[in-house]
């Protein structure tokens, strides 16, 4: 601990979250860039490709509550390290399925994508816990928006690179390159991530600033606690109308996300006739707008909060306006010029970025005693869309031989999310847990995870 020096270590931590989330989403998107070539080489139809796309989501959803519990019990640093290392290892292994017979390759690819999803399960709840520990309340919207915007930056940075790798060397190599990058970063993670009160680069002044303005600086300190997930607490979250509305909204927002992560490059190749190399570069353009929108949504929300608006207004306004803007992708069904299609997709992705404040809302609403489990539950419901969206779109394409109704389906998700936040969620506030006797659970004696 540095006594008399002004530091901003929390920005380094945010940078680390941004980088790891970029790698996280790049590893998810490898299959979409490789998808068209992979489909041709393995001779599979759109429905089968949709199921392979969805394999990640099945495991990711199943792993959310166990992942959140592991974070609450063992701390963010250790659990997140193993998460990065293991998902990267399974990403590398996907590069070798092409050496198998076709039937075995399809099964192996599904299983490896499944294991990537399971290993990534603690990532976003871990991000939310780290932001809650390292940032004052008035900075959390921007911090959450920045790490969440890494999903767009991943497309901006890696889609052209991965498209070039597939075009030049074959689809297998994209998995090996991206997985190796993740393994290397996991070692960097161990060096720089610590609990705020234990970080060797931290000053006392910065620690006091965070602690005195809402940061849970000792979230990863305390005695190891036994037992599994707090099912009584989970039941309270599931009976909260506000939380159910937030879960529904996140499901719909992720439906838009997973269209861009899975079927969008295939759309550019098969519906618009682009080469995979061109599609890799074109896919990055809407993502640039999504990145800008994602950061801007958090900045606008925190600015509204600082100007005296209620937390509910400050979070809901960007969400509603952004998601309404994202429905503009449906216009692509009525235009022919490629640059116009890209422009409307970019506008839709920008709007989705502005509206993607779900993790900031989770920082505002999660009970402090079970931040990991609460984030895991939120991410579980949200990422059911990672299962349903690729499969539903696969069936739509197989039935209609077109992406037109697929775009309508994705746009409808945005409208349902708007309805959820305007009608179901109500006022946004932190959930207060109660024990079996109906008494409020105090923050101080609540179980804390070990490091």
Residue 60's closest CA among 113, 131, 7? 113
**282 confidence band (pLDDT: 50, 70, 90):** confident
For the chain, the first-to-last Cα distance in angstroms comes to: 18
pLDDT at 259: 87
pLDDT at 335: 87
Per-residue pLDDT tens over the stretch 348-391: 989 998 998 888 888 788 887 777 788 888 988 988 888 888 88
User: Is the pLDDT reported for residue 333 higher than 60?
Assistant: yes
Q: Of 46-60, 184-198, 341-355, 429-443, give the lowest mean pLDDT range.
A: 429-443
Q: Which CATH superfamily is domain 9-215+227-425 in?
A: MFS general substrate transporter like domains (1.20.1250.20)
192: its two tokens: 């720089």
User: Is the pLDDT reported for residue 446 higher than 50?
Assistant: no
How is the chain split into domains, by residue range? Answer: 9-215+227-425
Q: Of 40-44, 202-206, 385-389, give the lowest mean pLDDT range.
A: 40-44
pLDDT at 276: 61
What single string gives the DSSP state of each residue in 418-443? Answer: HHIIIIII-S------B-TTSPBPPS
Average pLDDT, the chain: 83
Residue 189's closest CA among 20, 72, 73? 20
Find the mean pLDDT for residues 89-104: 83
CA 348, CA 414: separation in Å to the nearest integer?
Answer: 10
More confident residue, 154 or 220: 154
Q: For the chain, how big is the Rg over CA atoms in Å?
A: 21
Whole-angstrom CA distances from 396 to 31, 34, 137 are: 20, 21, 43
User: Is the pLDDT reported for residue 28 higher than 60?
Assistant: yes
User: Is the pLDDT reported for residue 447 higher than 80?
Assistant: no
CA 358, CA 445: separation in Å to the nearest integer?
Answer: 28
pLDDT at 158: 78
pTM for the whole structure: 0.73
pLDDT at 3: 57
Element (H, E) at 186: helix 171-192
CA 183, CA 92: separation in Å to the nearest integer?
Answer: 10
Element (H, E) at 202: none
């Amino acid at each position: 601990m540095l006594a008399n020096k002004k530091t901003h270590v929390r920005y380094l931590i945010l940078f680390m979250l941004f980088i790891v989330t970029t790698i996280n989403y790049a590893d998810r998107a490898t299959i979409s860039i490789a998808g068209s070539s992979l489909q041709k080489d393995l001779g599979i139809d759109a429905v089968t490709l949709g199921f392979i796309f969805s394999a990640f989501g099945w495991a990711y959803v199943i792993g959310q509550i166990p992942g959140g519990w592991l974070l609450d019990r063992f701390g963010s640093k250790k659990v997140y390290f193993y998460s990065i290392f293991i998902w990267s290892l399974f990403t590398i292994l996907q590069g070798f399925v092409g050496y198998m017979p076709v039937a075995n390759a399809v099964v192996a690819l599904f299983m490896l994508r499944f294991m990537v999803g399971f290993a990534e399960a603690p990532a976003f709840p871990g991000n939310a816990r780290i932001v809650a520990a390292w940032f004052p309340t008035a900075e959390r919207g921007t911090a959450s928006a920045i790490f969440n915007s890494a999903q767009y930056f991943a497309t901006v940075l890696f889609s052209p690179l991965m498209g070039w790798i597939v075009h030049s060397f074959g689809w297998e190599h994209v998995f090996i390159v991206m997985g190796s990058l993740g393994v290397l970063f996991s070692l960097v993670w161990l060096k720089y991530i610590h609990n705020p009160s234990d970080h060797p680069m931290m000053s006392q002044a910065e620690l006091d600033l965070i602690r005195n303005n809402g940061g849970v600086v000792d979230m990863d300190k305390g005695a190891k606690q036994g037992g599994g997930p707090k099912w009584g607490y989970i039941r309270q979250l599931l009976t909260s109308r506000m939380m159910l509305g937030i879960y529904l909204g996140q499901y719909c927002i992720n439906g838009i996300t997973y269209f861009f992560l899975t079927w969008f490059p295939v759309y550019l190749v098969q519906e618009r006739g682009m080469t995979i190399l061109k599609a890799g570069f074109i896919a990055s353009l809407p993502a640039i707008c999504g990145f800008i929108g994602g950061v801007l949504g958090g900045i606008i929300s925190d600015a509204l909060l600082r100007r005296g608006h209620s937390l509910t207004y400050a979070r809901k306004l960007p969400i509603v306006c952004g998601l309404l803007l994202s429905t503009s992708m449906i216009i692509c069904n009525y235009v022919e010029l490629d640059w116009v299609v890209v422009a409307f997709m970019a506008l839709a992705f920008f709007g989705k970025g502005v509206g993607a404040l779900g993790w900031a809302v989770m920082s505002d609403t999660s009970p402090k005693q079970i931040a990991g489990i609460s984030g895991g539950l939120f991410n579980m419901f949200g990422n059911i869309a990672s299962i349903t969206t690729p499969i539903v779109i696969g069936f739509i394409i197989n039935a209609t031989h077109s992406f037109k109704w697929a775009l309508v389906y994705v746009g409808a998700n945005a409208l349902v999310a708007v309805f959820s936040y305007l009608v179901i969620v109500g006022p946004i506030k932190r959930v207060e847990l109660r024990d079996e006797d109906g008494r409020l659970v105090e923050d101080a004696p609540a179980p804390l995870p070990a490091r």
